[in-house]
Amino acid sequence: MPLLGLYSRTYVWWSGRKIPQVGLIIDSIMDYARQADVNEDFVLGYVFIQEMMHAYFDAFNNRGFPSILSLEESFAEFAMLTFIDESPDIRFMLPYAKDYVISRIGKNPGELGYGIELFIRSGEDAIKLIKRYRDISNWTEPPFQYKNSYHDSMRKYHQEPSEENAAKVFEDILDILGREWKEPFDPIQPGIGEKWGYTKTNSFEE
């Protein structure tokens, strides 16, 4: 999948040396716009919003290891679509943004494109789910994958984006969001479970 934009994070221990940045790859955006027969300003707009969603997720509770999780690409797509849908002045871009996300299904990495499923399946809970992911996005690295079938489910969806596989991924994501995640003592070793040792609880009810 051509790279149209990116978000570069700041790791906590590099603070002062680097700052987060959103990058837009204009040549790639223009190429995609021509190939998709879409106004390049629309493409630039929704790509920028999507990259800013990575920054939004990174801005909260980021004392943990701020790495891009395998589900964050899907959530950035989902949040971008939701933001456009909730913004009357730019809602006209939603069909184009949806087509863009759909065009990423089956591309590497495998979570690309699943944002359209999150957008469709979340319904009225869209903003609630986005905010919940924001609150825990920097705390959900290993060992969560050993206690949830999300990675296997997403791999199956990547190979065959069927209704059944999409529904299983959504079920696993709701399970991840519903857990009581906790801030790690060690910022490079976040996780879940008492054996890791934590200072602060972040439950779904909050």
Which of 108, 86, 107, 109 minimizes the C-alpha distance to 97? 86
Q: Which two structure tokens, joined as six digits, stand for 133?
A: 């992911």
d(CA 82, CA 118): 10
Q: Is the pLDDT of residue 190 over 50?
A: no
Domain locations along the chain: 5-202
Which phi and psi (to 5°) does residue 59 adopt? Answer: -80, -10
d(CA 20, CA 103): 27
Task: State CA 161 to chain mean position distance.
Answer: 18
- N-to-C CA span, the chain: 37
Average pLDDT over residues 193-199: 38
Residue 149: its pLDDT value, please? 86
% of the chain beyond a pLDDT of 70: 75
**Which residues are registered as beta bridge partners of 165?**
none
d(CA 171, CA 99): 24
* pLDDT tens, position by position, 79-106: 999 999 999 999 999 999 999 999 999 9
Q: Which two structure tokens, joined as six digits, stand for 35?
A: 């190939």
Q: Please, what is the Cα angle at 44 between 72 and 32, to 5 degrees? A: 90
Q: Is the pLDDT of residue 182 over 60?
A: yes
* pLDDT tens, position by position, 9-52: 755 444 555 677 888 999 999 999 999 999 999 999 999 999 99
